[in-house]
Amino acid sequence: MSLGSPTMSKYFKILRISLMERLVYRADFFVATLFRFLPLLTTFLLWEAVFAGSAEKEIAGFSRDRMIAYLLMVQVSRMFSSMPGLATGIARDIRDGNLKKYLLQPIDMLWYLLSYRGAHKLAYIATVALPYGLLFFACHSVFESFPLGWTLAAYLISLLLAFVIGFFFEASIGLAGFWLLDVTSLMYILNIVTFFVSGQLFPLDLLGPVPMKVLSYLPFQYLAYFPAMVFLEMTTGEELAWGLTIELAWATAFVVLSRWLYRLGLRHYSAYGG
């Protein structure tokens, strides 16, 4: 199966222009960034209450500090893996006929959107760097150590793959729009499921060994839980290698799936609609 033939410079340029577009709305940008801190705050307060009301010092291997460190790192994972509006955007392009531009011009939709999304992520990360930096500084005592060397490398790889899985997973859902009129409700359900089983609300260790084992074979935990655990050096050694292998497998699977859906979808679109 062909993955298209991206000329890097072409898609890099798209990334640059997308970045400029993104920066047009500065105010929107800052307000959105600020509001993203609110859910984090409520999750903190929730866990504060849990620990305050519990006689145990640790819950499923997490002390209070560890829990806060975990919740912070999960935010960083999601910064890379969440793709708000991607699936619904693709579905809308298909429904409204904006898909045309990808068919008329010598350009590949998925590579184009990947560049576009990459630009948004870069812009977002650049803007939140300061507030997040302050937050991490304020909470620095909850971190026992900062990973170095191979652990850091493994962490960065896990983040990159989280981005790839996040992107191509949502893109695949969006491409279902070739056959479904609306993917909003599908996406809504998946978002709720993802929120829990990716480990965004609590470490998956709380679920017990069997569900954890099952989830380790599914893609969700690689969007949030896994990179965080790698950073905190709670997933190490063989477990880490195995995790990265499964993450890579899922990333590849979603790339292939989305390419396949795109090709099939175009055939369907060209035959029935336009």
Q: Which parts of this chain interact with another protein (CB under 8 A)?
A: 7, 9-10, 13-14, 17, 20-21, 24-25, 97-98, 100-101, 103-107, 269-274
The set of residues, in sequence order, having a beta carbon less than 8 Å from that of 64 and lying 6+ positions away, is 47, 48, 51
- How far apart are the C-alpha atoms of 200 and 70, rounded to whole Å? 9
Would you say 71 or 99 has its CB closer to another protein? 99
Nearest residue (CB) to another protein, 18 versus 88: 18
Of 26 and 140, CB closest to another protein: 26
How many separate helices (H) and strands (E) can be counted in the chain?
12, 0
Minimum distance from CB of 106 to another protein (Å)?
A: 4
CA distance 102 to 100: 5
| Residue 102 Cβ vs another protein, minimum distance, rounded to whole Å | 10
Of the two residues 3 and 134, which places its CB atom closer to another protein in the complex?
3
The CB-of-189 to another protein minimum distance in angstroms stands at: 18
Residue 179 beta carbon to another protein: minimum distance, rounded to whole angstroms: 13
- Specify whether the CB–CB gap between 205 and 212 falls below 8 A: yes
> Roughly what angle, to the nearest 10 degrees, separates helices 149-175 and 86-96?
30
Measured from the CB atom, the residue of 6 and 131 that comes closer to another protein is 6
Minimum separation from the CB atom of position 115 to another protein (A): 10
Residue 98 CB, nearest approach to another protein (Å): 8
Find the helix or strand (DSSP H, E) in which 34 lies. helix 26-35
* Residue 272 backbone dihedrals phi, psi, to 5 degrees: -110, -30
Q: The dihedral of CA 226, 232, 235, 236: what is its sign?
A: positive
Residue 37 tokens, joined: 């801190």
| Cβ proximity to another protein, 100 vs 140, nearer residue | 100
DSSP secondary structure letter of residue 179: T
59 beta partners: 62
Q: How many CB atoms lie within 10 A of CB 158?
A: 24
Q: Which residues contact 125 (CB under 8 A, 6 or more apart)?
A: 79
Choice between 17 and 31, CB closer to another protein: 17
Min dist CB 6 to another protein, Å, is: 11
